[in-house]
């Protein structure tokens, strides 16, 4: 069954701001999520720099380009290490 999209459709995605919280943690979680779905370090750098991606771009404006780049590098390196450790564990089994 399909239905046409209605102007006031309750399933339409709408972003909302939740005040408070740690912006660094928010950026880290976003980076981890994008890595897990297959994006590269270069993809992430572009997403955080591009105003089209409002959420990630706002984090860059709030935290600064250098801090975002450092965070991306850290999370990417941790991700690579986790994959290597998983492969080693599988070889031992």
What whole-number percentage of the chain has pLDDT above 70?
A: 85
- pLDDT of 15 higher than 70: no
Strand ranges (E), the chain: none
64-76 per-position pLDDT tens digit? 999 999 999 999 9
How much is the pTM?
Answer: 0.73
d(CA 82, CA 28): 15
pLDDT classification of 12: cutoffs 50, 70, 90? low
Using CA atoms of 58, 16, 76, 23 in order, give the dihedral in degrees to the nearest 10: 60
């Amino acid at each position: 069954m399909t239905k046409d999209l209605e102007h006031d459709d309750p399933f339409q995605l709408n972003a909302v701001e939740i005040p408070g919280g740690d912006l660094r943690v928010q950026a880290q979680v976003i980076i981890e999520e994008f890595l897990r779905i297959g994006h590269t370090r270069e993809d992430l750098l572009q997403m955080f720099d591009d105003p089209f991606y409002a959420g990630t771009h706002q984090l860059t404006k709030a935290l600064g380009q250098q801090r975002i780049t450092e965070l991306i590098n850290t999370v990417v390196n941790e991700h690579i290490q986790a994959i290597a450790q998983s492969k080693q564990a599988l070889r031992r089994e």
